[in-house]
Each structure stands twice: as C-alpha cells, then as structure tokens.
Amino acid sequence: MKKGQITILIIISVIIVAAVLSTAFVITQNKKAELSKKFFSQLNIKPDLDSIKYEIIECSKETSLNAIDKIGIQGGYYKKHNKYLDFKSFFIPYYYYENNYYQTNQLTTERELSYYIDENLEKCLEKIDYSDYRISYKIPRTETRIENKQISFKINQEFKIERENNFITFKLSDYPQKIPSELKAIIILADYITESHKQDPAMYCVSCLSDIAEKDNLFVDILNFRENEMLVIISENHTSSEIYSFEFLNKYKGNERSPLTEFVETIPNSPDKE
C-alpha cells in the first residue's frame, strides 16, 4: 500500500511540475510575442515589415499568373502526362491519339496549377532581400479552384520574419489570389472538341462548337501541324491585357477526313496575334 501511495504521489508531482513548466513556457512565449509585436510596430521598422509582406503577396500573384500561362501552353498540365510532344522548355499534350483519349478535366487542371505554385513559388521568394531581416518559411500547400470567370488560389504557407531576436509570423493563406480567367469555359470547349471524336473523328457539330465559343467570347484555331496531326488553340483576350492561349494536339490514323475544312470558316475569327 505504501509503495502504491508513493508511486501515486510521484505521478501527481510530475504532473504538477509539468503543468507549472508548461504554464511558465506559455507565459514566456506570450511575453516574447507581445514584445516582438511592439518592436515591429515601431515607426522605423513597420515600413520594412509592410514592404516584406507586400513582396511576398506579389510573389504569390506572379507565380499564380505564371502557373495559368504555363498550364495554357501545356493544355491543362504542368507535369508530363500520357501522350505529349516535347519541345524541351515546354510540351503540348495529345487529347486525341488514334482513337485514344487523354484530355484533362477541371479537377486535374486544378491539381496541376497547385503543383506548379508549390514547386515554383520559392524562385520568386528567394529574390526578396532585406539585409537586416531573416525570412524563413515552410513548404507551401496550394488549394486551387477554377471558377466561372476566375481562378482562386489559397496558398497555405507560414512565414517567420526576424530581426534583433524579435520575430513575427505571417500567413500567406490570409491573402488568397483571385485572378480573372476563362479557363473553366476553355476546358469545357476543349472537352467538347475531343469528345466529338467518339461520334465521328472526322466531323464536328459546327453550330454547337460555334455557339459554345461565341457564348464565352472564345476563339478557336485548328492548324495542320504534322502529318495526320492537328494543333488546336483556344484563346481569349478579354480577361487580361494579353491574349491567353490553351493548346493541345489531335493525332489521326490517316484514313479520317480532316476536320479543318468542316468548321474553320464558321467559328469566330481569331484575335490579332501580332
């Protein structure tokens, strides 16, 4: 009985000591955080802090825009996928390849956009240089949503900004990016073009394609690329100052009639690319 009572007393003592130490640690950390907050609110410090935060947010915007551009050139993909034509600095995927289908979808493209940001954001962050400050950060985890008329990016990444043994944390997720884009409509149109091959690889519903493109103010170019191959370019010029293009390839066996003559004269004219 005495040994059991001693054991219980030891356990209780350990719990009490741990609780006291934990409370003391929390109080100490809170005091440090309060002192750091006062330090970074000083008139000669706050402008630098605001500039650092601004540059981090601008990095997230720049990387998000680059992700959208890259995804467009590569037909909805960041990483190489199934069939594609490699050009070293980029690739163009095949959506239709001799009766096989490899087109992207919205969920896949959202994931690919997130991959791009997670792997490339640091390239921009490394350029932020303030000699009196140390900036550290965790690996980003991006959530992407392709919505009507825009793409939303929430980059889950925490930053620690330090100076003179003081630090403050900054969460990029508090500043999501919402970028105007017709990518959702483009993916729908690209899927329609590709799925049309299931009915007849040589024919399209010209009026259907034209109506879909016109509704969202999109433009379609279908170009002879290589033997039995067509390059499809869907573009728009109203969500930004520059033309946005989304590209993919179709590969035919050679015994189909070319679809080019079926609708090239009935789709909306392409925007001026010069």
**Could you tell me if 62 and 167 lie in one domain?**
yes
Residue 274: per-residue pLDDT: 42
Is residue 206 a contact partner of residue 262, using CB atoms and an 8 Å limit? yes
- Confidence class of residue 41 from pLDDT cuts 50, 70 and 90? low
- Confidence class of residue 266 from pLDDT cuts 50, 70 and 90? very low
Give residue 201's region: left, alpha or beta (phi > 0; psi -120 to 50): alpha
Specify the higher pLDDT residue, 117 or 264: 117
Question: What stretches of the chain adopt beta strand conformation (E)?
Answer: 84-86, 91-97, 100-101, 134-137, 141-147, 150-156, 158-163, 166-171, 177-180, 219-224, 229-236, 244-251
- Confidence class of residue 261 from pLDDT cuts 50, 70 and 90? very low
Averaged pLDDT for residues 184-197: 91
Percentage with pLDDT > 70 across the chain: 76
**Could you tell me if 58 and 167 lie in one domain?**
yes
- How far is the C-alpha of 32 from the C-alpha of 49, rounded, in Å? 18
Q: What's the pLDDT tens digit per position in 124-171?
A: 999 998 888 899 999 999 999 999 999 999 999 999 998 888 888 889
**Could you tell me if 203 and 95 lie in one domain?**
yes
Spatial CB neighbours of 26, under 8 Å, sequence gap ≥ 6? none
Averaged pLDDT for residues 229-248: 93
In this predicted structure, which of 4-13, 39-48, 65-74, 249-258 has the lowest mean pLDDT? Answer: 4-13
Q: Which domain holds residue 35?
A: 1-40
Please state, as a whole number, how many other Cβ atoms lie within 10 Å of the Cβ of residue 155: 25
**Could you tell me if 223 and 210 lie in one domain?**
yes
**Could you tell me if 204 and 227 lie in one domain?**
yes
pTM given for the model? 0.79
Percentage with pLDDT > 90 across the chain: 52
Residue 74 exposure: Cα atoms within 13 Å on the Cβ side? 25
Number of domains in the chain: 3
Residue 61: per-residue pLDDT: 97
pLDDT at residue 1 greater than cutoff 60: no
Q: At CA 108, angle to CA 102 and CA 110, rounded to 5?
A: 145
pLDDT at residue 3 greater than cutoff 80: no
Q: What is the DSSP string of 64-83?
A: HHHHHHHHHHTTT-SS--SS
**Which tokens hold the place of 59?**
């990095």
Q: Which of 140, 164, 180 is the last residue of a domain?
A: 180
Residue 59's SS3 state is helix
Eight-state DSSP code of residue 216: T
Mean pLDDT of the chain: 83
**Could you tell me if 173 and 186 lie in one domain?**
no
Residue 99: per-residue pLDDT: 86
**Could you tell me if 58 and 174 lie in one domain?**
yes
Give residue 48's region: left, alpha or beta (phi > 0; psi -120 to 50): alpha
Is residue 218 a contact partner of residue 186, using CB atoms and an 8 Å limit? yes
- Confidence class of residue 245 from pLDDT cuts 50, 70 and 90? very high
Q: What's the pLDDT tens digit per position in 221-238?
A: 888 888 889 899 999 999
